[in-house]
Structures are given as structure tokens and as C-alpha cells.
Structure 1
């Protein structure tokens, strides 16, 4: 829940109660106190939108002055007409400096790498979540400017390694360095001189996808983990039965052993991907209906309702009954 808590920091600093914002996103406020609780991507995106509209601030109240709605579009449009990616990124850095007073953004080179560096101004102490948030926004914007993908070599953070560091791999898929003088992401400098080809139609499409394109972006490349998740969803749409490892391996034309090795190389496993999808489906079903736990357990491929309830508590920190009861009470 650290991401949800971080998103709410700006609103709380302005004296706003978080409960209405959480309810608007379909998140039970009580879950804020549960470290192991999880929310779906859809709920996370809904919370971002609720905060952005309530505060009229695309920086969610995390900066000393708001970036009013339209700020991201302004940054994006500032890059139009650039000759190459380097010129586009430098325009974006300059534009962001104009929009706020708390951090400085700069495109730099370090040997074979180029980096977009975020440095706090003297006398300011931006919240840790602001570093995470700005890094994600700038990276996804840079990826869009680069044509849709930009492989990062490493991410750097201007704070010490947090307790929830294991969650970072899902959001920042590269080498991580903490305790740095600045927050930054680094990529192959050979990308900088490539021609910039984004146009007005592309800008409109990118802005229309905000904030989902930043919070839950499509994968830059289809790794085996993404292919497995896609196959799981495909099987579930075509058949009520949950597929097994052998079924997915056959669909991908590899052996089960090869599939497991490739998933391990991606930093995940068959069970982890299966549980991730089951968790998201369970949360969505509990939030929208009164399905019996036995039925839900069967839909999610569990041997019994008790097995499902144990797994759900492991995933979210709350039993499914208590989780649904809180949702229903909050919804009135």
C-alpha cells in the first residue's frame, strides 16, 4: 500500500480527508493500515484521477505549487518540431523547470549512457514518493518521445533503500541504486540522435491515455512473463477451466521446463503470475458483486473456498469477507 499512501501525501498536506478519494476509487480506507494489502491497476488509476481532479493538480499536491491540468500536455507539445530525441528531451526538461520550483531536471551524458536527472533544489526536501512519481512520469514520457519504448539500463534514487524494495522491480524494471545524490534513469546514448517523428495526432493519443499510460504502461517488449499472462487471460476467455503450466507451455510451443527457466530469468515464476492474475480478478469480483466464496474459488482454480480465503488474506492482508464488507459499507 506504500504507493497509495504516497499518492495521498499531497492531499493530506492540504488538509483533505483521504477517505472520500479512496471510496471514489473503490478502495476500502481501512486497507491503508495494512502493509501487505494490494489494489488493482484500475483502482490505482482511478485514485490518481480522483486526486488530480479534486486538487486540479497533475502533481497530486506533492510540489510547492500545483501543475494545473494540461501541464503534461504542455510538456508533450513543447517537444513537437524537435529534430531528434535529444532536442525533444531537452525541451521537456526546460518546460518542467518552468512549471514548478522544487526540482531541476536535466539531460546528461555519462560515457555510453544518457540520463535524465532529477535534483531537488537547495532547501527543499521532496517526499520519497515524489521522486518515484516524477521518475516514472519522465521515463514514460521519454519512452513515448523515443517512439514508444526506451530500455533503461539503471534507475537511481535520491533516498535510501526502502523496506518495500521488492516491489520496485515491477515498476522500475532495471538495475536499482539507492542513496544517490539525485534521482535518474539511464539509457543508451545512441538513442539521442535518432530522428523525432511524433506529430499532433500522436500527442492527442498520448494525452488521451494519461494517466494509465504512466501508471500501468504496456510493456516495452513482450517478455515471457507478459506472454504467459496473455495466454492465461486467453484461456480463461475461451474456457472456464484454469489452464495448467503444461497447457500454457504447449500454447507457447516450449516445454514446461523451458518455460519455468525463462520465467525465472525474468525474475518471476508460473505460480507468481497465476496468483497475480487471480488476485486482481478476486479484488474486482469482490468489489462488484456478491458471489459466494465457493463459486469464486472455483472460478479462480482453487480446490476449496477455504484455500481461496487463505490465499486472499496472504495477497491483501485481509480476509475476503472482511474486505467485501468494508467495500459494501463504504459504498452505502
Structure 2
């Protein structure tokens, strides 16, 4: 996903303000430009929103961020995932997830149910007056969709999404969130999948789950799972060829490796709404973040690895990518892992 739309940034901070937190102080603590508070069109980067989400989880001790009458204590989602992990298929997995949320007396009720010849992943907020803009409905469906993709290691595309309320002013972001046709004024709030969705298997190991939970919510801002896109093929190809440091072939060399012409490669990348230049930036960014999170390499060595001549150049680029310096990013990751 690209930058987070203004709506979600402002509504999350509005909920924090209702709970007695100060949005300006939060932005300052997270190195988010305070001027964005007065700009209704402002967006934040994925990393900034991820940091905000994590901050509010901790400050409120509420995974539903104040959008329900009864808070959902920090760790509820992780515990539910751990209990449901051994399920043999998604029908049982979501039954176990739903049962756990019912046991903890949650205002949010989720379910996977048959609708005609399809499967509906549904959510209801039994305290709607706490969420008149439907934030909880949107973000929980968003979360559970990505959870499904991650546990099955597949990119699962919904047939369509439906919502039991009129089309809101910010409806343009729904297709970005769910990447499928959207319908309003329906009977339920749900993502609709093919019937075989219920038969998909959670395949992730216990150790993978723990790593995944420790990284939340970072990994939910993109759809996890196997991906056969040209973008992914290029990333894999470049990383395989880059042992001691990143090596980017020319566009002609890359096209030749992929057995296509330069013109065809450019056209296919454009069809995926990207470019080779953009992909190189993403590869540098992702490799830097991975080394900062999962290794003890010093900043100078990481800079050399990803193609910068000095640490200062990496610092400037990383600040542009995430709003943080490499040291700040590593410090946050280490703090969250404790």
C-alpha cells in the first residue's frame, strides 16, 4: 500500500483525543510532522502509521483503539492466533478465533459463514455509537483478510466487499484497502470469498507466528502470501544476484534475464503501476529494514550493502522512506521485541 489516507490518520488521533491523549504530543513522540494535524488532506507513510497504531495500542491498552465500549486488551489478538494456529482449515480457524473473542466479552463479533455458494468473513460492532465512522469495521476486515493471506501463504482476493451502511465520504479508499468491488447498504459487513476459502489451511509454524506477531502491525500494510507478479520476480532475481552488496542490472540486462524486450518489460511494469527506478528504491528500502531488524550489522556496513557510499547518504534516504533514522528504526524494533 502507498501512503495511508488522511482519513485514517485523523480518525485514529481523534479517538486518542477522546481518551485523554494529546495528538500533538503523540506526533512529536513519533517524529510525525505536527502540521499534519491541521491539514485534512495530509497522509502519513506506512511506517509512520504503523508506529502510530502501535503507540495507541500501548497507550490505550486497547487493540480496538477506543472504537468499542469495552476495550480489547493488548495481546488478545496474539493469544487468539496462537490458540487457532493448529486448526486444520479456515472454517475451524475462524470458529476458534471467534470463540475466543466471545469469551473475552468483546463488542466485536467476527465470523466465517456460508452465504449461498460463497463464504462471508463478517464483522459486527455491538457498540456502534462509539464508531460512527465505521473505523473498527474497516480495519478489522482489513486485518483479518491479511491474517488469512499470511496464515495460508497465499494472496487471497475477495470476490467483493459489502457494508451494512450508506457509502461514506471516504469511500474512495475502500478499493485500496480491499482491492475488490465494493457494495454499500447491504445486509452485513463482510468480505465475500469463493466457497473453497473455508478449506484453506493455516500452514505457518509456531516460530513463524511469533516472529509475525512481534512485527505487527508492520506486515499488515501489504497483502502477504505468494506473489507471481513481475515486481516480485524482479526483486527475487536481483537479490539472488547480490551477495556482498546490491547489484542492479541495466534495464536491458534485466529484460534479457526475463526473456523479454526492454519495451515489453517497461510496458508490463507500467501495467503493475510501477517502474524499474521505483523497484530499485523499494529493494534498497526493504533490504535496509530487514538488516536493521534482523541483524547486528552496523549502519556503515548496511549502507555499503545497499549501494550507498557513506552512512550519511543512507540516513537521508531512510529518513525519506520512513520518517526515522536507521538508529531510531532499529531502536524501536529492539524495544518492541522485548
Same fold, TM exceeding 0.5? yes
Partner in structure 2 of residue 130 of structure 1: 136
Q: CA distance change for structure 1 residues 13 and 269 in 2, over 3 Å: closer, same or farther?
A: same
Partner in structure 2 of residue 98 of structure 1: 103
TM-score, with normalisation over the residues of structure 2? Answer: 0.67
Partner in structure 2 of residue 145 of structure 1: 151
Partner in structure 1 of residue 32 of structure 2: 27
Q: CA distance change for structure 1 residues 207 and 28 in 2, over 3 Å: closer, same or farther?
A: same
Partner in structure 1 of residue 212 of structure 2: 206
Unaligned runs of 5+ in 2: 1-5, 287-312, 321-338
Q: Map Cα deviations across residues 259-316 of structure 1 (whole Å, 9 max, x no partner).
A: 45545654x3549957996xx99xxxxxxxxxxxxxx9xx99xxxxxxxxxxx9xxxx
In the alignment of these two chains, the number of paired residues is: 282
Measured in 2, the distance between the counterparts of 1:228 and 1:35 equals 37
Measured in 2, the distance between the counterparts of 1:122 and 1:14 equals 16
Task: Give the secondary-structure state (helix, strand or coil) at the position aligned to 2:207.
Answer: helix
Match of 1:224 among 230, 236, 241: 230
Q: Map Cα deviations across residues 64-101 of structure 1 (whole Å, 9 max, x no partner).
A: 12211111111102214323221111111222233354
Q: Are the aligned partners of 1:94 and 1:105 in contact in 2 as well (CA < 8 Å)?
A: no
Unaligned runs of 5+ in 1: 282-295, 301-311, 313-332
Matches within 5 A, 1:213-292: 213-218=219-224, 220-226=226-232, 237-238=246-247, 249=255, 252-259=258-265, 261-263=267-269, 265-266=271-272, 268=273, 270=275
Match of 1:37 among 27, 38, 42: 42
Q: CA distance change for structure 1 residues 219 and 147 in 2, over 3 Å: closer, same or farther?
A: closer
Measured in 2, the distance between the counterparts of 1:86 and 1:232 equals 39
Structure 1 residue 188: deviation in Å? 2.3
Task: Give the secondary-structure state (helix, strand or coil) at the position aligned to 2:141.
Answer: helix
Q: Are the aligned partners of 1:150 and 1:220 in contact in 2 as well (CA < 8 Å)?
A: no
Q: CA distance change for structure 1 residues 134 and 164 in 2, over 3 Å: closer, same or farther?
A: same
Matched, 1:52 2:57: yes
Measured in 2, the distance between the counterparts of 1:141 and 1:120 equals 19
Measured in 1, the distance between the counterparts of 2:27 and 2:14 equals 13
Q: CA distance change for structure 1 residues 151 and 65 in 2, over 3 Å: closer, same or farther?
A: same
Task: Give the secondary-structure state (helix, strand or coil) at the position aligned to 1:152.
Answer: coil
Q: Are the aligned partners of 1:260 and 1:269 in contact in 2 as well (CA < 8 Å)?
A: no
Matches within 5 A, 1:172-191: 172-191=178-197
